[in-house]
Amino acid sequence: ENVANRDMKYKRSGENISVIGSVRNPQNEAVFATLPVGFRPIQHIAFPALAYGYTPAACEVTIKPDGGIFVNGVPSGSTVHIAMNFLI
C-alpha cells in the first residue's frame, strides 16, 4: 500500500534511472510496482534498504528485467523507504 506523500516515482536522466518512494506492508517476493519499458534494467538489480516497523530491519529491494519491483526480508507490518539509482 502507498504511503501518503511518498508515492513511488521514477525519473530518467540519460541512461540513469532513479526510483523513490515508500511502500507499507509489502509482501516478500510479491511485485508491488512495475517500471515501464525504457526504465527497466537488463538484469535483476538488488538494493539494500531498511524496513521500519516494531524494530528496524535490513531488507532488499529488487528490480527485475520486466520492470517488476519487490522486497525480500521485510517483517510483517513494516514500511520500506526506497531510493534507488541504476544505469540502463
In a domain, 72, yes or no: yes
**pLDDT at res. 6:** 86
Residue at 62 is within a domain:
yes
Residue 66 Ramachandran class (φ > 0 left, ψ -120 to 50 alpha, else beta) = alpha
Domain count, the chain: 1
Instruction: Please indicate, yes or no, if residue 4 is contained in any of the structural domains.
Output: no
Q: With respect to residue 52, please indicate whether it lies within any of the assigned structural domains.
A: yes
Asked whether residue 22 is domain-assigned, the answer is yes
Given pLDDT bands bounded at 50, 70 and 90, which one contains residue 22?
A: very high
For residue 19, is pLDDT > 90? yes
- Quickly state the pLDDT bin for 5 (edges 50, 70, 90): confident
Helix (H, G, I), strand (E, B) or coil at 39: coil
Question: Across all residues in the chain, what is the average pLDDT?
Answer: 94
Confidence of residue 3 (pLDDT cuts 50, 70, 90): confident
Distance CA 33, CA 57 (A): 21
Q: Positive or negative, the Cα torsion across 77, 10, 70, 60? A: negative
Average pLDDT for 39-46: 97
13: its cell numbers? 536522466
Residue 21 belongs to a domain = yes
Q: Which domain holds residue 44?
A: 9-87
Q: Picking from 5-9, 30-34, 43-47, 55-59, which range would have the lowest pLDDT averaged per residue?
A: 5-9
Residue of 59, 12, 67 whose CA lies nearest to 34: 67
